[in-house]
Copies of this chain bind each other. A is one copy, B any other.
């Protein structure tokens, strides 16, 4: 297959590219390297050292540029769109960062959709959204469309929790709309929170993918593990009863690969709820604490006032059928994942800047 990865230098884009190259596909990448720049600008850096652009370019040709300014597309079998500003707290910093997020994500996606219509209307667009688009309602969350009652067939309501989430909601509405009018073929991924650093394709240190642990770009398990390793308490926002969907990086790559190899029909718009397990923040912290202490670390937890406006909904229940139909079986062994991650991070503990982990952005 001919595959284009937008955001090929990123946390998920890089290991996905490695996987597809190892499978023998023809892969090109595009990246504006904004993730590298943004993380440096917030005084942090990838905790696991990553290769520079030049080295990565020897493995995968990555053109430097923004999806916002793309003006041509070759005829790929699949375009994977991961080129978005991916952080909720970053989008909530202030007016400028919220507008920056909408500009990159929404305007980028719209530009891309017009280009696909113009240059390659038969290409499969695989787009990364977030499970957070649905919010945390008191009812099961189907894969995109209401399944029964008077509203059967209508899009399931969206309730964004940040400007980042709003940008993803808008992307989804946009993709659904152009699918209707232009007959494009699209997969929209509602992904849970990804964590970890390993995949089977990362077989040398130089191939490592980035690992962020700061308040903006570090997802929660990754942040907890960085805190455990450098000897500061795991900071739990609020009650810790927030229940979310999570998946290790391995599973994320597996799911995206399944979606690429099983494309939707022309004119089909399908939504995948992509996660491995639903778990609470407190349970996650407890696991990191226990395993960290087994490894000889001195791990403590602390609750801090929640800087976000979030809902605790213990009955949170997103459904997952579409990926299972394609053969997805979560390789969920959370304790093993956490142990593997902690062991990997320990040698880098002196690289951790403790002050970038604590949240300073308040939703209110």
What is A's interface to B at a CB cutoff of 8 Å?
Answer: 94-95, 98-99, 102-103, 106-107, 110-111, 114-115, 137, 139, 146, 149-151, 154-163, 166, 169-170, 173-174, 177, 180-182, 309, 363-364
Contact = CB atoms under 8 A, between A and B. Distances in A.
B154 A137 contact: yes
Given A150-B149, A157-B151, A159-B154, A364 B182 contact: yes
A139 B94 CA distance: 40
A155 B166 contact: no
Contacts of A102: 106-107, 110
A162 to B, nearest CB: 8
A181 B151 contact: no
Contacts of A114: 94-95, 98
A190 to B, nearest CB: 15
A177 B157 contact: no
Contact of A181 (B115, B181, B309): B309
Nearest to A183: B364
Given A102-B110, A170-B170, A173-B158, A181 B364 contact: yes
Nearest to A137: B154
Contacts of A94: 114
Contacts of A99: 107, 110-111
B107 A95 contact: no
A166 B157 contact: no
A116 to B, nearest CB: 11
B173 A151 contact: no
Q: Which 4 pairs from chain A and chain B are nearest by CB?
A: A95-B114, A154-B157, A139-B150, A155-B157
15 contacts: A94-B114, A95-B114, A98-B114, A137-B151, A146-B157, A149-B151, A155-B157, A156-B157, A157-B157, A158-B173, A160-B173, A163-B177, A180-B309, A181-B363, A182-B364
Contacts of A103: 107
Nearest to A174: B166
A316 B106 CA distance: 31
A177 B265 CA distance: 35
B170 A166 contact: yes
A169 B111 CA distance: 19
Nearest to A364: B181
